[in-house]
Amino acid sequence: MPLSRWILLCLFVALTGVLYMVLFTDSKAYYIGAIYALACSLPLILFESGRLLPGLHARIQKLSTPAYFGSTLLAYLVLTGTGFGIAGASLKLLGLADAEWRDVLILRLTSFLYTMAFFFVGITLLRIRQLLGREVFSSLITGRYRKPLKEERIFLFIDVVGSTSYAREFGDLRAQEFLGEIFASFAEHVRAHDGEIDDYVGDCAIITWRLKAGIDGARCVSCLCAILSELESNKDWWIQQFGRAPKICAALHGGTVVTAAIGLFHQKITYFGDVVNTTARIEGLCKTLGEPVLISAELLGRMKLPDNVTAHACGAHTIKGHDAPLTVFALRQPTA
C-alpha cells in the first residue's frame, strides 16, 4: 500500500481514539486516545494484511469455520491487549499519563469492544473489496461505470496447462485445491504491478490494466515475469505439496473496450469488445506455436520491454473473428 494511504489510515485510526476520549472519558488529553487507538489497531491491520505473523495468519485461514472465528478472536484479543499495554507503559514512563499502572496496562472491555466495532466494519469493507477486486469495488461505489464507457485496456490471460490431466490423476477436489493455490500465488504480483484480477474461468485467470498503467514500465509484462519466476523458484514445493509443478501459458493484448456495470442484485464490471476475444484466441495459439507466452504486435509496439525480456516474431496468423491476420510475438527470458 502506498505511503500516502498508510498516512490516511493512521489519521483515521487516531481520530477513532479521539472520538473514544470524547464519548467515554472526561479527559481533554485527546492525544492519549489517539496513541492507544494506533497501538491497538495497527497490529490488527498488519496481521490481517499478512505483514505481522504471516505464518500464523495463513494457518488460521485454513481452519474450519468455528475454529477460524475462535482463533481469530483470540489473536485479536492478544494483539490488541499487547498494543494497549505497550502504549500504556510508554505513556506512563514518559510522564504523559498520570493514571495507575493497572489502568494504563490492562485493556478494558469497553476499549476492546470499541476497537473491535470499528475494526470489524473495516474488515467487512476489506473483504467485500477483496471479493469484488480493488477497481471494481471503487468503481461500484463511485458509479464510474453506471453508464457504459469506452476505455483502453490491457488483458492478460493465464491458463494452467494440464489441469484436466491433473484432475484425472488426482481427482476433481484436489485439482481445485491445486488451481486455487496457483491463482492465489498470482495475487501479490498483480497488486504490486497495479493490475486487477478480473475473473477466473475454469483454469484461466483474467488480469487487466488500464492501458496507460499497464504499459508504463511494461508493468503487464513485469507482472507476468514475476509470476513465472515465483512458480519456477518454488517448483520443489509444488511437487511436494501437489505432486506436480504448475505450468502456465499466457497471452497479452490490448485495445479499446466498452466497460459497464451490469446486474441488479449481483453487480459486476464487465468488458465488451473484440479485445477480450482476441486475447483468448492468442492464448489458444500458445499450444499451436509451442510458446508459453505470446503478445500481440499491436500491444508490443506500445511499450518498451524489460531488459531481461526479449521478443521473437512468430508471424501472422488467421484467427476466428478477424478478417486480417494477427501478428504475434513470443516473450522469452534467459534461462539460468
Give the pLDDT confidence score for residue 155 in this predicted structure.
Answer: 98
Distance spanning both ends of the chain, measured CA to CA: 32
- Any alpha helices (H) in the chain, and if so which ranges? 3-24, 30-48, 54-61, 65-93, 101-105, 109-132, 134-142, 163-170, 172-192, 211-215, 219-233, 235-242, 274-289, 297-300
**Residue 134 CB contacts under 8 Å (≥ 6 apart), including other chains:** 191, 196
Same domain, 175 and 300: yes
CATH number at residue 210: 3.30.70.1230
Residue-wise pLDDT tens digits, 178-223: 999 999 999 889 988 999 998 999 999 999 999 999 999 999 999 9
Same domain (yes/no): 119, 154: no
Q: Is 209 found in the same domain as 124?
A: no
Q: For residues 38 and 10, is the Cβ–Cβ distance under 8 A?
A: yes
| Residue 138 forms part of a structural domain | no
- The verdict on 127 and 219 lying in the same domain is no
> Would you say residue 117 lies in a domain?
yes
Out of 106, 132, 158, pick the residue that ends a domain.
132
What is the sign, positive or negative, of the torsion defined by CA atoms of 138, 140, 145, 146?
negative
Q: Which of these three, 99, 132, 165, is where a domain ends?
A: 132
41 with 89, same domain: the answer is: yes
Residues of the chain with pLDDT under 50: 336
Runs of H (alpha helix) within 49-64: 54-61
Neighbours of 7 (CB within 10 A): 10
Residue 258 lies in a domain: yes
Query: Considering the domain boundaries, does residue 253 fall inside one?
Result: yes
Axis-axis angle for helices 3-24, 30-48 (nearest 10): 130
Structural domain range at position 287: 144-332
Q: What does the chain come to in residues?
A: 336
Residue 130: the pLDDT is 67
pTM beyond 0.85: the answer is no
Do 167 and 126 fall within a single domain? no
Residues 160 and 264 in one domain: yes
CA distance 54 to 60: 10
Domain assignment of residue 137, yes or no = no
Residue 139 in domain? no
Is 176 domain-assigned?
Answer: yes
Res 15: pLDDT = 94
Are 327 and 198 found together in one domain?
Answer: yes
Closest listed residue to residue 84, CA positions, set 43, 41, 40, 47 = 40
Q: Give the pLDDT of residue 35.
A: 94
Please identify, among 132, 156, 184, the residue that sits at the C-terminal boundary of a domain. 132
Let me know whether 123 and 168 are in one domain: no
Q: What's the rounded Cα separation, in Å, for the pair 34 and 52?
A: 21
- And the C-alpha cell for 63? 481452519
State how many domains the chain has: 2
Q: Is 100 in the same domain as 161?
A: no
Asked whether residue 203 falls in the same domain as residue 234, the answer is yes
For cell 494497549, the residue is: 84
Q: What is the pLDDT of residue 335?
A: 62
Please state the φ and ψ torsions of residue 148, each to the nearest 5 degrees.
Answer: -55, 140
- Does residue 248 belong to any structural domain of this protein? yes
156 and 285 part of one domain: yes
Kindly provide the b/e burial profile for residues 195-230, where b requires at least 16 CB atoms within 10 angstroms of the residue's own CB. bbbbeeeebbbbbbbbbebbbeebbbbbbbbbbbee
- Report the DSSP beta bridge partners of residue 154: 209, 254
What is the model's pLDDT at position 257?
95
